[in-house]
Structure 1
């Protein structure tokens, strides 16, 4: 029940951005930042996968993986804002979909000391890409938008994984979902 309330609050917060879509508001570009993670299948799948995979971690990993992803994503955006060059951004994003999908498909539970740096490296690529698509938006409001969208996608992945029972059939469905994510990542790498 609590997850559905969080999701509802995030959706309502996301809708607030469209009310600020006209000039003259300090949050005028929140909506653009909110929309960007939803604009590509690669971002959507990677962020859902972080939520799904976080549930597998258990304990503090359930919130550390999504929080670490968001923090590293902001660091990636900051690198872009500072004019740093991050090589192979699209390949890094596609690799995030591939690797996270494989971890879900194989039902692998990495130790948190390995999983957190892994998702953080991938998040840097996502953050850098978000910044690159910012255009003339104000960095703070735009970043608030893409952080909100990312949290929404993480929560949706977590809720989906939590909603599924711990039956062999449900675990098989999660594995197939992970396999589909991995296959999509492989296709994206080849593009």
Structure 2
């Protein structure tokens, strides 16, 4: 990936730059750590899991790692520091790239875990919660999303992945059935 913005891609909502391939459309806000391949269709309401709170502390609440909230005044901070030390937690380090390969269709209101790869040709059913990588040409749905079936047989999938058809302009397929 790493292609930036290619020709003929479209965003319904976005004020953040991320990588999107030709002939892809997104009806959803996608965060900057997202890479989208070519010929992808992303419906409205698609969102990502948020950052990860630290799990190794007395509480997952932000008072254990961040002291700049309005509800933490100087007196509270002194009291907190008497009990235990506030250890900074770099929230941005917990953000992981979301990789959406080519010819991926993501249905409405899907929730995606950070750090996963949606491989070429896969389909994500609406309102699914995707917590793991999705294999090429798999159709997944549910909470959590599970493989329902594949779009094609193994031989056809292998051939499609080998020819990398998504590297061509759709006009090149004019005479193909």
Q: TM-score, normalised by structure 1?
A: 0.24
Larger Rg: 2
Q: Which has the higher contact order (CA 8 A, sep 6+)?
A: 1
Could you state the TM-score of these two structures normalised by the residue count of structure 2? Answer: 0.25
> Per residue, is there more helix in 1 or in 2?
1
Judging by fraction of residues, say which structure has more strand: 2
